[in-house]
Structures are given as C-alpha cells and as structure tokens.
Structure 1
C-alpha cells in the first residue's frame, strides 16, 4: 500500500489498473494498493456467520437512515472518515451488555450499557411453575446507566428475567433466580 502526495497524474484517477493496482481515496488521501481478488478457499462457519450478521447490520443501516432523527443521531457520533451509515452498521452489529442486576428493597436495578444507546429494559417476574406474574418496562435513572423497575412481589423459587434492547432491536437476556 502506498500513499500518494501531490501527484497531478493520479489526482483524478480512481479504480483498478489492469490486474495490478487499485487506486482509491480514504480520508482525503489517495492510496495505491495491490489489487485483491476473491479468495479461493471455502469460507468457514464463523466467516459465514459474520457475513450474515454484517448483511443484517447493513440492511438495518439502510432502513434506519430513512428516519431523519436517527440519521442525525448516528451522524453526530461519527468521527473523521465515518458517516451515519458506518455508525448504524456498528450499532446493529453488537447487542447491549447487561453488567449487573441487583435488588434494592422492591426495586430491581439493572446496569446496562451499549456503545451507542440502550433503548429499553423489559422485566418479567416468573414464578417457580414458569408462569409470568408481572412484566413491564424499567425506567432509566438519572445516571443514564441504571434502569429501575418496582416489583410488586418476588416469588420464592421464581426468577426475574431482564431483556435489554438497543436501537437496532438487538436483545440480551439475563435471568436471576430468586431464593
């Protein structure tokens, strides 16, 4: 790979030169690189999964950028050489992370984070038999990380199921068994 500086000949040239070189521009720099061809190897299972995940993320990015508010949100997070589409793909590629679930009296406090934004936290209280006793959405606390949900009662032997959802709809589920 070579970076080209102040060359009038390559100033307006982009694309491939035969089967030898590719000339392209990134971050206002002209780059000449060896032309790459398709791989001769059969893709692995992990590569196929990554390609599928990227295909879904790209489809999300294209769809979400039709909304001017979300497009402006993603554009505000873009750094140099990035755009709203790049940020939307990055957001769709990773699910939110539930870091901690704790109980403060009758309140469940969930600490969740995402590189971009956690859209909602859903809470379900399930008894020992597997019946849902209560469900609802947690409310974001003042610190912007903790979500609070007030529970009517905690059934012994039951569990609390926490579902964190980000803007693209990626979900992370964690359960806490009650003693």
Structure 2
C-alpha cells in the first residue's frame, strides 16, 4: 500500500485503470490494489451484508448533513476512520441491553427499575414495558438516562400486587434506529 501527502498527488480518490485504487484518509492519500471481480455467486449472507452496508451508507450520507451529528461522529472516529465510516459502523451495530435490574421492583408505584444499555456510539432512548404473570400489559414508558450514560431508570406508575411471575422488557434504541432488548422474569 502506497501512502502520500505530497503536492503532486494532492487529495484525490478513485480507481486508476482497473489496477490501483486511491483513497483519502485524513490529509493523506492511500493507493492499493484494485479489487477483482467476484468469481462466485454471492451467498445469502454476503447479499445481506452488502444490503446492510448500502443502507448504512445512505444513513451516513443523510445524518452527516446535520452539523451537530457530524461533529459527534467526528469526535468518535477511531484509527483510520472518517465520520462517514463511523456512522456506517453505528448503523451496522445495534445497542445491547446488558441488565434489567428488577430486584427493587415490588409492584408499587414509585419503584425504580434500573436498565443498563450500551452501544458502540450512543443509546438514544430506552423503552420499558411491564406485563403481569398472565401476560397482560400493565404499563410502559421511557426510562431516564442517569449521569453515567449507560444506566437508565424507569419509575413505575401502576400497581402490581401479584408481581411474582411478571415480565419486564427493556428496549434500547440507537441513533440509526437499531434496537436491542432484554426481558427478565420476576
């Protein structure tokens, strides 16, 4: 792989013939061998990944029109990344709900349910739903993020006198709209 940041090359990108590809990385231009044509039919997994990256590119192009989000993705870039590639990465990775702490839940209004959720970039919101032992929905709503950023609190509003056997489900949503969830049985 050739690297340059000289006056002759400047910042340019694209394919030269069908042999060399030029890419910009920060203030440098990188040259590498051009990819060859696919020799086999794409598998279902490959087609799924291609579609995910195509949709991720559309998301990144759209979201980077917002100066605040562009700056946020720029602050989160890793080595050899651009804000665009960081936004694509965010699109491809859903958030994860790692814990729904229902041990403080006693079925009383005012009880706090603690949710821990992470994402490779940012968890935008956490939604909580409580169902009784028979599966009836008792309540639902959004949790409030705590100063740590990975901890969210949901304050119970509806009574649930027979809370044993109830289910608490939490969904974390990131900026691209990906969801991750976790359900606990009390």
For Structure 1 versus Structure 2, the TM-score category normalised by the shorter chain is 0.7 to 0.9
Structure 2 distance, partners of 1:102, 1:61, is 34
Aligned-partner Cα distance in 2 for 1:174–1:75? 30
Question: How far is the alpha carbon of 1:71 from its aligned partner?
Answer: 1.4
Gaps of 5+ in 1: none
Q: 1:177 aligns with which of 158, 179, 185?
A: 185
Q: 1:5 to 1:169 in 2, by over 3 A?
A: closer
* 2:150 aligned partner: 145
After TM superposition, give the deviation of residue 44 of structure 1 in Å: 1.0
Q: What is the rounded CA distance, in whole Å, between the counterparts of 2:118 and 2:46 in structure 1? A: 27
Structure 2 residue runs without a partner (length 5+): 105-110
**Is the counterpart of residue 134 in structure 1 residue 133 in structure 2?**
no
Alignment partner, residue 156 of structure 1: 164
Number of aligned residue pairs: give it. Answer: 173
1:78 Cα deviation after fit: 2.2
2:122 alignment partner in structure 1: 117
Partners of 2:5 and 2:29 within 8 A in 1: no
Q: Deviations over 1:110-143 (max 9, x none)?
A: 1111111101110001123332111111111122
Extract structure 1 runs of 4+ deviating beyond 6 A. 5-8
Report 1 or 2 for greater relative contact order, CA contacts < 8 Å, sequence distance ≥ 6.
2
Would you say the 8 A contact 1:26–1:81 is kept in 2? no
Separation of aligned partners in 2, 1:121 and 1:129: 24
Following superposition of structure 1 onto structure 2, how do residues 1-179 of structure 1 map, counting pairs within 5 Å? 2-3=1-2, 11=9, 15-17=15-17, 19=18, 21-27=19-25, 28-33=28-33, 35-79=34-78, 81-105=80-104, 106-151=111-156, 152-154=158-160, 155-178=163-186
In angstroms, what is the RMSD of aligned CA positions?
2.5
> Distance in 2 between the 1:104 and 1:128 partners?
16
**Alignment CA distance shift 1:97-1:39 (3 Å):** same
Shift of 1:158: 2.2
**Compared with structure 1, are the counterparts of its residues 7 and 77 closer, same or farther at alpha carbon in structure 2 (3 Å cutoff)?**
closer
Q: TM-score, normalised by structure 2?
A: 0.80
Q: Distance in 2 between matches of 1:170 and 1:6?
A: 38
